């Protein structure tokens, strides 16, 4: 009886293993950018779809109410109502809208039980609205607060702590950041600092307001949905005489209230959130609307003489240099057009169309797209 010998299995040598590992590493390195690009393309498409829904809701509001849903920020201290709050019933958030007390400020912690309201607006403001969150933004769990020390809760928190709702659901057991954020906001006018002084320049606006921020305005530099400070500003589609397809309704201004500059959060050893933050971001805050100012390349200086970029430089000016109720912005938000898409930022126009405006768009062209009745000639197609 013969016994056949079985040949011994040959193992990989160390060199062969290293070669295989190197090949796998190279393949991963080649595939990763493609995977990331595909993920960003999907995110940008979802962001565009969000804005299409928002644009449709705005047009439906105008058709139903005969006015556009511009924000209301009265100077007499009564209820401040943001454009998103007015739109709630138009994008399947009617239940939230029915529970919202439009007679009280968005930060109120005192429910109007006599009027049938059991949960205060400040608690309802913690509700996240996915349609208003860009999936490309690094965090969809941002929260904002009220910087007005005369309101309740009083003043902006001094620490990056989220508020906690009490067991009864009608107040806070821990005070902190309590207003869920939006990555999309109206561009309400072109800032006076961008006026070109009669000399045409790509770094200036052909049409800008001649008034400072923080007061009622009416003029050719108004945006599609200018803010209402006195209860009389009722905006219609017909007011966009430049053409609804050539007037921005809503722009991305993502990442707020944290300050971002060219893809990096601006927190560092010299300043950190919440001391360093953009005023605005909360979906229920009229201050999340913003005027177009333009910024320097490093995102630290704003307005004419300083501004060189329009889109994707920074998401706004910090309250360190632009304090709430300060001389430049007053109570207005300090946001700027900004997205986490590499090529530009998505915008919905007055006709409901959504377009990506390039990071290279000039201040002059962008300002012309902000104004609804400036008479400028602008083409971004």
Q: Are residues 175 and 190 in the same domain?
A: no
Q: What are phi and psi of 25, to 5 degrees?
A: -60, -40
- Please report whether residue 85 resides in a domain: no
Instruction: With respect to residue 87, please indicate whether it lies within any of the assigned structural domains.
Output: no
372 vs 9, higher pLDDT: 372
User: Are residues 229 and 313 located together in one domain of the fold?
Assistant: yes
Rounded to whole angstroms, what are the CA distances from 323 to 140, 236, 277, 305, 315? Answer: 25, 32, 10, 21, 16
Pair 243, 357 in one domain: yes
pLDDT surpasses 90 at 355: yes
Residue 10 covered by a domain = no
Is residue 6 a part of any domain in this protein?
A: no
If you average pLDDT over residues 118-131, what whole number do you get? Answer: 96
Question: Quick check: is 138 in a domain?
Answer: no
Numbers of helices and strands, H then E, in the chain: 5, 11
Domain of 42?
A: 19-78+182-381
- List, as one string, the DSSP characters of 127-172: ---GGGS-TTSS-S--EE----TTSSS-S--SS--B-EE-TTSSSE
Location of structure tokens 């990071």: 359
Q: Could you tell me which residues come within 8 angstroms of residue 244 by beta carbon, excluding any fewer than 6 positions away? A: 237, 349, 350, 351
In the prediction, which pLDDT does 288 show? 97
Is 90 exceeded by the pLDDT of residue 58? yes
> In this structure, are 215 and 249 located in the same domain?
yes
The helix/strand/coil state of 45 is: helix
Q: 18: which 2 tokens?
A: 């290293």
> Residue 296's pLDDT band (boundaries 50, 70, 90)?
very high
The pLDDT assigned to 10 comes to 64
Q: Are residues 186 and 280 in the same domain?
A: yes
Q: Is the CB of residue 338 less than 8 Å from the CB of residue 359?
A: no
Specify the pTM. Answer: 0.89
One domain for residues 186 and 152 = no
Domain presence at residue 250: yes
pLDDT of residue 170: 94
Clarify whether residues 192 and 204 are in a common domain. Answer: yes
- Given a cut of 70, is residue 34 above it in pLDDT? no
Position 136 in a domain: no
- 240 and 156 in a single domain? The answer is no
Same domain, 173 and 186: no
Does 324 map to a domain?
yes
pLDDT category of residue 279 using cuts at 50, 70 and 90:
very high
Mean pLDDT across the chain: 91
Q: Please tell me the distance from the alpha carbon of residue 73 to that of residue 91, in angstroms, as a whole number.
A: 23
| pLDDT tops 80 at residue 29 | no
Are 164 and 308 part of one and the same domain? no
Q: Which residue has the higher pLDDT, 236 or 3?
A: 236
Same domain, 357 and 303: yes
Q: Which of 13-17, 89-93, 163-167, 346-350 has the least mean pLDDT?
A: 13-17
- DSSP annotation of 288: G
Query: How many domains does the chain contain in total?
Result: 2
Q: Are residues 119 and 268 in the same domain?
A: no
């Amino acid at each position: 009886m013969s016994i056949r010998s079985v040949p011994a299995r040959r193992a990989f040598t160390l060199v062969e293993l290293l070669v295989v590992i190197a090949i796998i590493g190279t393949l991963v390195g080649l595939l990763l950018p493609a995977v990331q690009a595909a993920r960003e393309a999907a995110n940008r498409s979802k962001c565009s779809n969000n804005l299409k829904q928002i644009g449709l809701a705005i047009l439906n509001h105008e058709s139903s109410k005969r006015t556009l849903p511009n924000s209301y920020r009265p100077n007499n201290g009564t209820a401040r109502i943001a454009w998103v709050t007015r739109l709630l019933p138009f994008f399947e958030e009617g239940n939230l809208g029915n529970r919202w007390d439009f007679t009280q400020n968005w930060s109120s912690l005192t429910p109007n039980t006599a009027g049938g309201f059991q949960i205060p607006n400040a608690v309802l403001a913690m509700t996240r609205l996915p349609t208003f969150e860009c999936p490309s933004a690094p965090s969809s769990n941002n929260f904002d607060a009220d910087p007005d020390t005369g309101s309740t809760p009083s003043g902006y928190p001094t620490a990056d702590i989220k508020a906690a709702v009490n067991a009864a659901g009608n107040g806070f057991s821990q005070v902190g950041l309590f207003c869920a954020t939006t990555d999309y906001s109206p561009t309400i006018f072109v800032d006076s600092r961008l006026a070109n002084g009669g000399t045409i320049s790509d770094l200036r606006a052909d049409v800008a307001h001649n008034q400072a921020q923080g007061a009622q305005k009416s003029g050719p530099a108004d945006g599609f949905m200018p803010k209402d400070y006195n209860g009389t500003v009722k905006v219609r589609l017909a007011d966009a005489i430049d053409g609804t397809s050539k007037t921005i309704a809503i722009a991305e201004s993502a990442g707020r209230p944290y300050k971002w500059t060219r893809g990096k959060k601006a927190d560092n050893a010299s300043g950190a959130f919440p001391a360093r933050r953009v005023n605005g971001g909360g979906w229920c805050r009229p201050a999340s609307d913003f005027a177009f100012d333009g910024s320097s390349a490093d995102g630290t200086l704003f307005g004419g003489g300083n501004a060189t970029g329009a889109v994707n430089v920074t998401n706004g000016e910090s309250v360190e240099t632009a304090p709430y109720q300060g001389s430049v912005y007053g109570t207005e938000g300090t946001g700027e057009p900004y997205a986490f898409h590499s090529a530009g930022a998505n915008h919905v126009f007055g006709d409901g169309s959504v377009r990506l405006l390039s990071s290279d768009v000039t201040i002059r062209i962008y300002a012309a797209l902000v104004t609804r009745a400036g008479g400028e000639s602008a083409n971004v197609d």
